[in-house]
């Protein structure tokens, strides 16, 4: 099948991996089963045979495979997937029609609400279709209602007849007997109601509504009013009269949605008045691609990667136009959506939800971010959340508020948060402090910001700056953080802010700092001293892309720490200054440390001389217990590696574990390199590669 598993993936059973890949290829049609008489046998189903081995399923482009899986002939296939599938991934999604989204709704209901899927991941969706994104999000959070014209769920009927709802399940039902629904439930119910109303009208071949400009939208909002004391609107149905008014501030989908999920104007005109409005545009053509074609629903041509690539997300619509939902959400500033008079969806229920949500390179509009935040505030089953390059901007404040609300919920399970973006309205250390304050029970926090914060960035609508409760100067309470990973933008970082986080993280076991820059070596020393005094449980410490050439005394201080078990100095320019004096001091510190198990020194220009100096760590008079050594990308030549191997043999040192030699100059003398590796394998497990050292000519010249 010409499928190569990722090098980062650990395959425990190749037969199961093959059957999983086979299932996906048959489902997408990339394998022609009719070409093999055994596969096209009427008594045999390739999908059913391989479905029990499927642990993760990927849905791409225009939701290919969703309709096939929910079809009646594949009923047993879907039932098998419901028990075997754990991870559901969406990659490179494009625009979809009503039928595909209805199939996806049924598929998610079976796999998540009645199945074992615990993780949903979305990858590379530069122009998210708001209706489809909200559908995936609300279904993942456990919300469900059959679409227009859809049959009731057979499993829901069997479950309701077989047992009474438990106390926890009953508390999640969105029925009229529970009028006090939280903000997340009201928001999700309203969004689902507005989507289904739009889909019902599309199914009935009603003309799509016109886009409204910002001015007309605001006039409609003022005309309709948003008084929270008004009587609530009745639930939206698929048989609404043409002249019935829709709540003026109900959210709608973004301009990139397909006709199946197109937005309606804030005030519905009678069917007999005026000409039919023009349909919504799907998206604008990418700049410089005049030949780019616009997709036309299910009749689109082949959805290859090139079609996907040229749908660019960076082009925004005209500044005077805004979707109704975005106007409403922006005017609210993240307040309770019930004040908009959103329709209640009493038939909705909340079922089992996923525990891991990952969004990679999925730009979040205001409507999508507001929906996510309201769902998060009560998503107690969520254990891990990953938001990677979503363009949150000022919506980060809404996210922090929702995470704080979630932390206050009984039974909150969120223990891992991974957050990365190009920009942030808050400096990274202030953002870290805010997250730690909002989620004191968090165990794993990974945060990265690529570019410096701009203080003049727009903040929460209606506020002059970040809310005071987010960037308060009060002391951070003690937390449960065990793993902290931080990727810094360029510029010096205030050491006291980092120290305040470390002081409150007494349970910290692993710390990783990437591209961190401090004003002086004294500030770096202050951080290390804080680690020694307050983080006694710290076992693993990693520094990447940091200039530590002037911090040699601080590095020695770390190597003498008797609590650390693993230290990484990756591309830190350790031996740029005074290598002849610093190397013996470093080796002496390591020889006296009996707790250090792993040392990683990739990209520090160690050279042959440095490698031979490190060999003394394994001498007979050393008390070191080092068992893992990484000397990749260190300008090591074959003769130096051979001498290193001979010294280990002479000292009679037993096997010490793993030795990593990636991207060194071993190709300059292949015979000597093979002899050195042969000798080394008698004492350790060697991991190397066939790297072309001519790529590093510039680096070689700089070290001459």
How do residues 678-695 score in pLDDT, each as one tens digit? 999 988 899 988 887 776
Q: Which residue has the higher pLDDT, 283 or 563?
A: 563
Give the Cα separation of 565 and 594 in Å (integer).
9
Domains, the chain, with CATH or none: 14-119 (no CATH), 539-703 (3.80.10.10)
Give the Cα separation of 104 and 570 in Å (integer).
45
Q: 643-654: per-residue pLDDT in tens?
A: 999 998 887 665
Give the Cα separation of 670 and 313 in Å (integer).
49
Work out the number of other CB atoms within 10 angstroms of the CB of residue 49.
Answer: 16
Q: With CA atoms as reference, report the closest residue to 94 among 212, 223, 232, 258.
A: 258
| CB-facing half-sphere around the CA of 25: CA atoms within 13 A | 13
The pLDDT, as a whole number, for residue 298 is 39
User: What angle, 0 to 180 degrees and rounded to 10, lies between the N-to-C axes of helices 495-503 and 428-438?
Assistant: 20
The pLDDT, as a whole number, for residue 692 is 79
Q: 506-518: per-residue pLDDT in tens?
A: 999 999 999 999 9
- Is residue 517 within 8 Å of 546, Cβ to Cβ? yes
Q: State the average pLDDT for the chain.
A: 76
Confidence band for 639, pLDDT divided at 50, 70 and 90: very high
Q: What is the mean pLDDT of residues 402-419?
A: 95
Tokens of 688: 């190397």
Q: Does pLDDT of 386 surpass 90? A: yes
Weakest mean pLDDT among 452-456, 513-517, 580-584, 678-682: 452-456
Phi, psi of 151 (to 5 degrees): -80, 150
Q: Which residue has the higher pLDDT, 222 or 639?
A: 639
The pLDDT, as a whole number, for residue 696 is 59
Give the Cα separation of 495 and 527 in Å (integer).
7
**C-alpha dihedral sign at 598, 603, 606, 608:** positive
Q: What is the mean pLDDT of residues 314-318?
A: 38
Q: Does pLDDT of 612 surpass 80? A: yes
Cα–chain center distance at 61: 19
Q: With CA atoms as reference, report the closest residue to 555 among 537, 534, 576.
A: 576
Contacts of 695 (CB under 8 A, 6+ apart): none
Q: What is the mean pLDDT of residues 71-84?
A: 94
As a whole number of Å, the CA-based R_g of the chain is 30
The pLDDT, as a whole number, for residue 537 is 94
DSSP letters spanning 188-248: HHHHHHHHHHHHHHHHTTPPPPPP-BHHHHHHHHHHH---TTSPPPPPP-TT--TTPPPPT
Q: Which residue has the higher pLDDT, 630 or 42?
A: 630
Q: Does pLDDT of 590 surpass 70? A: yes
The pLDDT, as a whole number, for residue 468 is 58
H-type alpha helices, 632-696: 638-650, 670-680
The structure tokens 């199946």 sit at 260
| CB-facing half-sphere around the CA of 687: CA atoms within 13 A | 11
Give the Cα separation of 635 and 167 in Å (integer).
65
- Is residue 393 within 8 Å of 457, Cβ to Cβ? yes
Weakest mean pLDDT among 321-325, 379-383, 695-699: 321-325
Q: Which residue has the higher pLDDT, 156 or 595?
A: 595
The pLDDT, as a whole number, for residue 22 is 92
The pLDDT, as a whole number, for residue 657 is 84
- Is residue 518 within 8 Å of 492, Cβ to Cβ? yes
The pLDDT, as a whole number, for residue 4 is 74
Weakest mean pLDDT among 256-270, 487-501, 541-555: 256-270
Angle at 607 between CA 601 and CA 608, to 5 degrees: 120
Tokens of 439: 């989620």
Tokens of 348: 């909705």
Q: Which helix (H) or strand (E) holds 143?
A: strand 143-144
Q: Does pLDDT of 413 surpass 70? A: yes
The pLDDT, as a whole number, for residue 476 is 87
Q: Which residue has the higher pLDDT, 466 or 69?
A: 69
- Is residue 388 within 8 Å of 420, Cβ to Cβ? yes
DSSP letters spanning 568-610: EEES--TTSS-HHHHHHHHHHHHHT-SS--EEE-TTS--HHHH
Phi, psi of 510 (to 5 degrees): -140, 130
Length of the chain, in residues:
704
Q: With CA atoms as reference, report the closest residue to 543 among 560, 519, 559, 562.
A: 559
The pLDDT, as a whole number, for residue 41 is 80
Weakest mean pLDDT among 121-135, 150-164, 307-321, 611-625: 307-321
Q: 89-109: per-residue pLDDT in tens?
A: 999 998 888 899 999 999 999
Q: Which pTM value belongs to this model?
A: 0.74
The pLDDT, as a whole number, for residue 363 is 95
DSSP-derived letter for residue 450 is S
- C-alpha torsion angle, residues 109, 110, 114, 117 (rounded to 10): -90
Task: Find the distance separating the first CA and the last CA of the chain, reported in whole Å.
Answer: 49
Q: Does pLDDT of 445 surpass 80? A: yes
Q: 225-271: per-residue pLDDT in tens?
A: 444 333 344 333 333 333 333 443 333 333 333 333 333 333 333 33
Phi, psi of 386 (to 5 degrees): -125, 120
- Is residue 81 within 8 Å of 54, Cβ to Cβ? yes
Q: Does pLDDT of 13 surpass 50? A: yes
Q: What is the mean pLDDT of residues 10-27?
A: 89
Burial class (CB in 10 A: 0-12, 13-18, 19+), 333: middle
The pLDDT, as a whole number, for residue 28 is 87
Q: What is the mean pLDDT of residues 627-643?
A: 94
Tokens of 546: 């940091």
């Amino acid at each position: 099948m010409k499928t190569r598993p990722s090098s980062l993936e650990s395959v425990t059973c190749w037969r199961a991996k093959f059957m999983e890949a086979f299932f996906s290829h048959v489902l997408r049609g990339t394998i022609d089963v009719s070409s093999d008489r055994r596969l096209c046998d009427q008594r045999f189903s390739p999908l059913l045979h391989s479905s029990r081995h499927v642990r993760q399923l990927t849905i791409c482009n225009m939701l290919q495979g969703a309709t096939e899986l929910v079809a009646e002939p594949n009923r047993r296939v879907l039932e098998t997937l419901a028990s075997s599938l754990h991870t559901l991934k969406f990659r490179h999604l494009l625009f979809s029609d009503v039928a595909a989204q209805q199939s996806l709704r049924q598929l998610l209901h079976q796999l998540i609400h009645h199945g074992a899927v615990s993780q949903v991941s979305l990858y590379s969706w530069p122009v998210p279709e708001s209706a489809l994104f909200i559908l995936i999000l609300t279904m993942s959070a456990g919300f469900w209602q059959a679409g227009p014209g859809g049959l009731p769920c057979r499993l829901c009927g069997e479950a309701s007849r077989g047992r009474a709802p438990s106390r926890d399940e009953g508390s999640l039902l969105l029925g009229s007997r529970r009028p006090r629904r939280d903000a997340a439930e009201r928001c999700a119910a309203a969004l689902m109601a507005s989507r289904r109303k739009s889909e019902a009208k599309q199914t009935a071949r009603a003309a799509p509504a016109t886009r409204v400009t910002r001015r007309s939208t605001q006039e409609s909002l003022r005309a309709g009013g948003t008084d929270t004391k008004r009587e609530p609107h009745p639930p939206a149905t698929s048989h609404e009269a043409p002249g019935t008014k829709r709540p003026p501030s109900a959210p709608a989908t973004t301009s990139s949605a397909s006709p199946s999920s197109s937005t309606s104007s804030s005030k519905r005109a009678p069917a007999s008045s005026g000409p039919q409005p023009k349909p919504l545009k799907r998206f604008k053509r990418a700049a410089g691609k005049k030949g780019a074609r616009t997709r036309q629903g299910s009749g689109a041509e082949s959805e290859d990667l090139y079609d996907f690539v040229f749908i660019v997300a960076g082009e925004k619509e005209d500044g005077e136009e805004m979707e109704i939902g975005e106007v409403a959400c922006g005017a609210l500033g993240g307040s309770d959506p019930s004040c908009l008079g959103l329709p209640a969806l009493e038939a909705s229920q909340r079922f089992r939800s996923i525990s891991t949500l990952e969004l990679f390179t999925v730009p979040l509009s205001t409507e999508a971010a507001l929906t996510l935040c309201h769902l998060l505030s009560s998503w107690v089953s969520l254990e891990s959340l990953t938001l990677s390059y979503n363009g949150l901007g000022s919506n980060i404040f809404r996210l922090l508020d929702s995470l704080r609300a979630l932390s206050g919920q009984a039974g909150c399970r969120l223990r891992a948060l991974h957050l990365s973006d190009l920009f942030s309205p808050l400096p990274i250390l202030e953002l870290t402090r805010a997250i730690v304050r909002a989620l004191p029970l968090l165990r794993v926090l990974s945060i990265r910001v690529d570019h410096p914060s701009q203080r003049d960035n727009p903040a929460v609508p209606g506020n002059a700056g970040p809310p005071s409760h987010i960037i308060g100067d009060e002391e951070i309470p003690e937390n449960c953080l065990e793993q902290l990973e931080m990727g810094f933008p360029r510029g010096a970082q205030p050491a006291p802010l980092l120290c305040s986080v470390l002081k409150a993280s007494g349970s910290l076991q692993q710390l990783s700092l990437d591209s961190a820059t401090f004003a002086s070596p004294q500030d770096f020393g202050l951080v290390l001293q804080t680690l020694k005094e307050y983080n006694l449980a710290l076992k693993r410490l990693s520094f990447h892309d940091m200039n530590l050439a002037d911090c040699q005394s601080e590095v020695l201080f770390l190597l003498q720490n008797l609590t650390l078990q693993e230290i990484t100095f990756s591309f830190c320019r350790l031996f740029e200054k005074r290598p002849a004096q610093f190397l013996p001091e470093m080796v002496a510190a390591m020889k006296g440390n009996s707790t250090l198990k792993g040392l990683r020194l990739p990209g520090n220009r160690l050279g042959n001389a440095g490698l031979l100096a490190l060999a003394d760590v394994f001498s007979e008079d050393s008390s070191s217990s080092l068992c893992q050594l990484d000397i990749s990308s260190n300008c090591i030549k074959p003769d130096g590696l051979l001498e290193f191997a001979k010294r280990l043999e002479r000292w009679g040192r037993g096997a010490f574990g793993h030795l990593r030699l990636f991207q060194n100059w071993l190709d300059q003398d292949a015979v000597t390199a093979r002899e050195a590796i042969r000798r080394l394998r008698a004492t350790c497990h060697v991991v190397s590669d066939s790297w072309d050292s001519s790529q590093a000519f510039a680096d070689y010249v700089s070290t001459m």
